[in-house]
Amino acid sequence: MSTQTIGWIGTGTMGLPMCGHLLSAGYSLAVNSRTRSKAERLLSQGAQWCETPAEVARRSTTIFTMVGKPEEVSAVYFSDDGIFSGLQADTVVVDMGTTPPSMSAEIANRATELNAHAVDAPVSGGDVGARNATLSIMVGGDEAVVESVRPMFECMAKSIAVMGGPGSGQHTKMANQLAVAGTMIGVCEALVYSAKAGLELDRLVAAISQGAAGCWTLDNLAPRIIQGDDAPGFMVDHFVKDLGIALAESEQMGLKLPGLDLAGRLYQQLQQLGHGQSGTQALVHAIKSLEELDSAKQD
């Protein structure tokens, strides 16, 4: 059992089980979250509550953050009671949320100024991967620093890919979200099409998942779509945020990505339909609404 104290900030759908795996591995945890009640399960298992991110920083030698919007990430790190106001020299801060690569660079620069280290390590795998410790982690940062936190990553993930310097993990996550968005459109449209054609959807998924269409989304989210289960593994509001980051980064690089633009518009429409707190698989409702609108126009 390790005597090292790990800091953890953010105990939502993803952060709670991820932090729990570190507790189960024997690490001592200092925890902060915007809503204390969401950390109660961890506290009952021995984690210690901290009132602010700065307090977490004062207690910890490695600090993980798993928070949502860029402004929330900025507050956790840069506010008066944020991590950097209490950070000790040689501490490693690890941002595991999806953050603009430019902000990851800012975090890394500030950590360096304080004689500390920063790693960006966004994840993929949704709530299932977080619960089962089978996440994929995409890492940017100094290789030696990354290796120092690898044992902790291994408590949460089945795949750890080191992609380069600061921001590289976040750029990789943007590529991941681009692929996920396109795949989700395809899966939802396949199900809407098959339902219209009178096919039995469970059998349809079983059939096409064995061929070239086989993918994580078919295996894990198509059954939820068929069952009408919109519960979030990854919330639409968060995905819209991620796609917005990808769009902004693409524009800065002079890229025009029509699939990303389409996905962004479809997910914004899904928000307008009241599904911001639903899982990304709820995209099927936006596609159905377009089909119903088209049918109404034809009538």
d(CA 217, CA 188): 10
DSSP string, 224-288: HHHHT----SSBHHHHHHHHHHHHHHHHHTT---HHHHHHHHHHHHHHHTT-TTSBGGGHHHHHH
What is the torsional sign of CA 24, 130, 31, 98?
A: positive
Q: Which amino acid is at 136?
A: S
Integer Cα distance of 186 and 265 in angstroms: 15
Q: Rounded distance, CA 66 to CA 296, Å?
A: 44
* Residue 135 near residue 18 (C-beta atoms within 8 A): yes
* Helices 258-272 & 168-196 angle (0-180, nearest 10): 70
Verify whether residue 173 is a known catalytic residue: yes
Among residues 69, 173, 256, 297, the one annotated as catalytic is 173
C-alpha 234/C-alpha 40 separation (Å) is 21
Q: Which helix (H) or strand (E) holds 164?
A: strand 157-164
Question: Which amino acid makes up residue 111?
Answer: A
In one letter, which amino acid is 173?
K
192, 205, 217, 274 from 210: Cα distances, Å:
20, 9, 13, 34
Q: Do 289 and 272 form a contact (C-beta atoms < 8 A)?
A: no
- Catalytic (active-site) positions: 173
